[in-house]
Amino acid sequence: MILNEDQILLRNSVAEFLNREAPIGALRALRDNDNSPAWEPSLWAGLRELGAPAAAQSELEGGLGFGWIGMGALMLEVGRRLSATPLLSSAIHAQAVIRYCANEEQAQRILPSIMSGETVATVAAQEGPQFHLGGITTRREGNLLSGSKRMVMDAGGADYFLVSAIDHTEQQQIAMIRADTPGIEIQCRKLMDGRQYASIEFLSAEADEWLAGETLSKGFTRAYDQATILLCCEMLGGCRELLERTVSYLQEREQFDVKIGTFQALQHRLARAFCDLELAAASLYSALCAMDEGTDNLSESASRVKTLIGDSYQHLSNEATQMHGGMGVTDEMDIGLFMKRSRVCNQLLGSSAFHRDRFATLRGY
């Protein structure tokens, strides 16, 4: 990414903080403790002090004014260290849903606490085993919400849920509801990447309020596209770290009395992975520029980027694991943690297969 001086300063500050407070070993501790929260509170407190939840927003809105490229650079550093934070779920996705789906009064009242990180919200949209934007069965009946959601990120530590639903006219609705509201059953579990996700049942739960913007469906899609692009920034960070670690290992490991990095077959495999990754990174940078320019229609960009980086992350994690030999699949090696994260990221907000189909549909195929 081409960063200005302020964005470089933000990236370096976040990288230094994460190196100190959230090394990959911290993920193991979070994963192995069944009673641990969705993220480490001290880590989130430090990111709040750095202004990370409001990094992308303009100073007029109460943000830091680093733009989406700046936020992308921040998420890349998070991806390099596999840091568990509510940046994606709350500061990016939930914040965008409120920004584009709430009316002006609601936005002015709700956004400041989410931008400061004081309030954590997460979006509950997926209903089946696979992500799909349509096919909503969760229903609004008056002020009550009934239905179920799956794969809700960071639900165990969230203050509010933003829930997609439909009313009796089959029009999309978005409820804002406190996590401790009676009639909500939350079942949290950790997946292979060590992060917390939840299945939620809404049993005629009373919503705190319903977002009342004029274009709910369009706004919800725009927020989803932005979250997808920023998830890809995290995935790109994981790819960069995998590539650098693997190249370094090949330059040190000896077999038959020579460095295995001199084997042409391994060089060709990494060269291919590098080229695929650079293509994906260029597409991602283009999408971030479009976001900073205020482009309304991001759907094609989001689906293209998610497909390219999803494929790169999965392929590069396979190559890195194989080139580390049998050690690559052991828990002592960090490489295996990146491989597991790549599998979960590929499913979050839609798999590569979903986005290929969506991109083709948007292009008229």
pLDDT value at position 311? 96
pLDDT tens across 326-357, in order?
788 888 889 999 999 999 999 999 999 999 99
Mean pLDDT of the chain: 93
Cβ–Cβ contacts within 10 Å for residue 58, how many? 12
pLDDT value at position 128? 86
pLDDT tens across 258-276, in order?
888 889 999 999 999 999 9
User: Cα separation of 182 and 178, whole Å?
Assistant: 9
Domain boundaries of the chain, sorted by first residue: 5-85, 121-214, 217-362
Q: Tell me, what DSSP letter sits at residue 192? A: T
pLDDT value at position 35? 74
Which amino acid would we find at residue 295?
Answer: T
User: Cα separation of 350 and 72, whole Å?
Assistant: 19
24: tokens are: 């990959």
CA atoms within 13 A on the CB side of 126: 18
pLDDT value at position 89? 96
* In this structure, CATH architecture of domain 5-85: Orthogonal Bundle (1.10)
CATH number of 217-362: 1.20.140.10
Question: Which class is 121-214 in CATH?
Answer: mainly beta
pLDDT tens across 13-46, in order?
999 999 999 888 888 888 888 777 788 999 999 9
Q: Tell me, what DSSP letter sits at residue 189? A: E
Residue for token digits 């991001």? 298
